[in-house]
Amino acid sequence: MSTFVPKKEHLGEVLIHYFILKKSAAESYRILWEAYSEHAPSQDTCECCFKCFKSDDFNVKDKECPDQLEKFEDQQLQALLDEDACQTQKQLTERLNIAQQTIFDHLQAMGKILKEGKWVPHQLNERQMKNRKVISKMLPQRHKRKSFFATNCDW
């Protein structure tokens, strides 16, 4: 496998090539993903570039796309989850004005999973771990004290 890592300008020029060949942004993204995997531009980036190309802007130097989605910090996402942990990815996407895949990636990086309609930490916190240890020690003692099958009848 090749260790070649493409530069943004290279990928931009490849996108111009696909644009001239009348490929769609989504199709171009799929082709680039197959070739470069994690080094490929996102589908949003491909679509943004194609919008620029349609308006005769073929400058592929590193620049901000006018329609590019807003960048955000994990603290913004955490603040929204603290406000209401029952929000869906779609709702978070609309409130932060970023791609849903980006929300998913950040939630995963933050160790959050959706349980019963609520975003919770994937790992137990210190208090929860201590609580489980205490319970696991109590259950065998409870069984010794009074067996489940014990009855008050003498047969």
The domain spanning residue 47 has which CATH number? 1.10.10.1450
Distance CA 22, CA 13 (A): 14
Instruction: Report the pLDDT averaged over residues 31-40.
Output: 88
Q: Are residues 9 and 31 in the same domain?
A: yes
Report the CATH number at residue 114: 1.10.10.10
Per-residue pLDDT averaged across 31-39, rounded?
88
In the chain, how many domains are there? 2
* DSSP bridge pairs for 114: 119
131 and 95 fall within a common domain:
yes
The residues, ordered by sequence, that sit 6+ positions from 98 with a Cβ below 8 Å of its Cβ are: 69, 70, 71, 72
Of the two residues 133 and 68, the one the predictor is more confident about is: 133
The domain of 112 spans 71-147
For 69-74, what is the mean pLDDT? 60
Take residue 126 and report the two structure tokens written for it.
């210190």
